Amino acid sequence: MIHFDKAHIGYSETLISIDDLHLKSGEVHILVGKNGAGKSTLLKTITKQEKLLKGDILINNISLNTLHENAIAHHLSFVGSTFPSIDFMRVFDFIGLGRTPHTNALGRHSELDRQKINDAIEALEIEHLREKFTSELSDGERQMVSIAKALAQETKIILLDEPTAFLDYANKLKVLNLLKKIAVEMDKCIILSSHDIELSIESECPFLVLSKKNNDLSMLFPPVDKQEVIELAFG
């Protein structure tokens, strides 16, 4: 799914270096690290919102260096940390924006597009929100709708930047459990960044930890017994 090959990530200087890492489908990988460690930068680099400084990242065996920006949306979808403010747009139509890479020049939805939108709504269990305006949604509902939009995009890889940041504990747990279910049942590779260390440990998903070389990982979170912890060097 995603293969980091001597990848150097950052801006004018390297912030994160990943020599050799393969992330497979069927799992949710939780990206953690202190503020400023580069979690958002890493996600934005994978989506080509930021330029890779050196090395390569392979997306579905295709080099990110050669993958055209217009083709990115066919391989991965991205859910940002904030919900876009769009007045007078119903939830069904917002989720339908995820079908943009698959529609014709006029942007009209085919029967297949509408089916994919309905499938995403069903998978996220938000049928009751279908006809609501996005401005009427709670924070938890907005996050579910954003994930449904990413699911409707029909990519093998889904990246999420702090998807549980503004949610209460019950909704945080609901989002994580749904993402785990989607990863397994739909064979997706999912990466999400998070500050909720305790909740992430409870989820039993593999960790990607941004930590300075030779740093004590126990400074970031308590010992974990049930999860894989992969250290990514920064600084």
Q: Which of these, 29, 32, 49, lies nearest to 41 by C-alpha position?
A: 49
Examine residue 220 and state whether it is found in any structural domain, yes or no. yes
What is the model's pLDDT at position 220? Answer: 42
**Per-residue pLDDT tens over the stretch 52-80:** 999 999 999 999 999 987 899 999 999 99
- Cα 5 versus chain centre, distance: 20
Evaluate if residue 235 carries a pLDDT over 70: no
pLDDT band at 166 (very low <50, low <70, confident <90, very high): confident
Would you call 75 helix, strand, or coil by DSSP? Answer: coil
**Number of domains composing the chain:** 1
Of 75 and 164, the structure prediction assigns the larger pLDDT to 75
Structure tokens at 39: 């979690």
Would you call 144 helix, strand, or coil by DSSP? Answer: helix
| Full residue range of the structural domain in which residue 13 is found | 1-72+191-235
Examine residue 148 and state whether it is found in any structural domain, yes or no. no
Evaluate if residue 184 carries a pLDDT over 60: yes
Domain with 22 in it: what CATH number? Answer: 3.40.50
- CB atoms closer than 10 angstroms to residue 126: 19
Examine residue 67 and state whether it is found in any structural domain, yes or no. yes
What is the model's pLDDT at position 206? Answer: 87
Examine residue 140 and state whether it is found in any structural domain, yes or no. no
Examine residue 151 and state whether it is found in any structural domain, yes or no. no
What is the model's pLDDT at position 173? Answer: 87
Examine residue 143 and state whether it is found in any structural domain, yes or no. no
pTM of the entire predicted model:
0.89
Examine residue 40 and state whether it is found in any structural domain, yes or no. yes
What is the model's pLDDT at position 222? Answer: 44
**Per-residue pLDDT tens over the stretch 41-50:** 999 999 999 9
Examine residue 48 and state whether it is found in any structural domain, yes or no. yes
Q: What is the spatial distance between Cα 192 and Cα 179, in angstroms, rounded to a whole number?
A: 10
